[in-house]
Amino acid sequence: MKHVTFQEYEAAKAEILLGVQYKEDSTLEGNVIRKTYATKENGVFYEVNDGGRIEFWSDKHPESRIYDENERAASPVAETAAAEATTPERVPGYGELLQEKIRTETKDFNALNEFEKFILNRGYLYDTEEELKAGYDRAWKASHGIMVTAEEFAAEVKSRVKWDKELDVSPMYEVLSQLVKEKKLTPGEVFSYAVYTWCLRKPEAVVFDCAHMTWLWKDGNLYQVYAD
């Protein structure tokens, strides 16, 4: 079974859920969490979380893939043998410890509040309590149609691209902000670019869907993209 990165897992989920309403259901079997996200437009996204090993598939892509939170992919800087030899033992962060506590102690996952669900899904991204609360605040804003600031957009990206200390996403934020002003994107869709780390190094390649057609934002203009 193919193993994928976090970004690939999130992108697969976004293909089904982004921009549409969905119903989330979850059940617990021992330590295994089974979830479904059902939509009218794109079918269902399925995932089975067994201690951080997430097997997922969808009606659009029925082949199973795996994203394993326990597999820590080396950063580009740490790929050499020398770097690996000096890598210190990893210590779980605040959010990951809370995530594990909820996963192992919860008896009824349907009774979790929104913050607890957020921790269960994304807690491992945040090393401190402050980062966790800020991450939830950003997600809450986006889900309620509130535009995140440039600093919040950058913080969300950094929570997922921790190894790239030099990444500057301000040009990307400027492009997306302009599209919001022109009512071509919503605040929630802007936040998705940070969550799924889309086009961060190439803001000129922002692509979105409008009126069921795909468009490319490039050099300050919109171009319709046609499939081959």
The residue written with tokens 């259901």 in the block is 25
Question: Residue 227 above 50 pLDDT?
Answer: no
User: Residue 205: pLDDT band by 50, 70, 90 thresholds?
Assistant: low
Residue 35, pLDDT above cutoff 60: yes
Q: For the chain, give the mean pLDDT.
A: 80
Of residues 93 and 30, more confidently modeled: 93
Given a cut of 90, whether residue 63 has pLDDT beyond it is yes
H/E segment holding residue 27: strand 22-29
Average pLDDT over residues 51-63: 90
Task: Please give the Cα distance from 228 to 221 (Å, whole number).
Answer: 22
In eight-state DSSP terms, residue 40 is S
Q: Which pLDDT belongs to residue 47?
A: 93
Q: Position 158: which residue type?
A: K
94 is written with which tokens? 């605040």
How far is Cα of residue 50 from the mean position of the Cα atoms in its chain? 19
Long-range contacts of 194-200 (CB under 8 A, 24+ apart): 194/148, 194/153, 194/156, 194/157, 194/160, 194/169, 195/10, 195/14, 195/156, 195/160, 196/7, 196/10, 196/11, 196/14, 197/7, 197/157, 197/160, 197/161, 199/172, 200/157, 200/161, 200/167, 200/169, 200/172
> Which range, of 26-30, 73-77, 219-223, averages the lowest pLDDT?
73-77
What pLDDT, on a 0 to 100 scale, did the predictor assign at position 97? 92
pLDDT at 49: 87
Q: Are strands 53-58 and 44-50 parallel, antiparallel or unpaired?
A: antiparallel
pLDDT of residue 58: 94
pLDDT at 218 over 80: no
Question: Is 50 exceeded by the pLDDT of residue 213?
Answer: no
Predicted local confidence at residue 78, as pLDDT:
43
The whole-number average pLDDT for the span 12-26 is 78
In this structure, what is the dihedral angle of CA atoms 210, 7, 49, 110, given to the nearest 10 degrees? -40
pTM given for the model: 0.58
The 8-class DSSP code of residue 89 comes to: P
- Bigger pLDDT: 205 or 144? 144
Output the pLDDT for position 107: 85
- For 175-191, how does the pLDDT look when each residue is reduced to its tens digit (9 = 90+)? 899 989 988 889 988 89
**Range with top average pLDDT, 42-46, 161-165, 224-228:** 42-46
Positive or negative: CA dihedral 199, 67, 72, 152: positive
pLDDT in tens, 75-99: 444 444 444 444 456 678 899 899 8
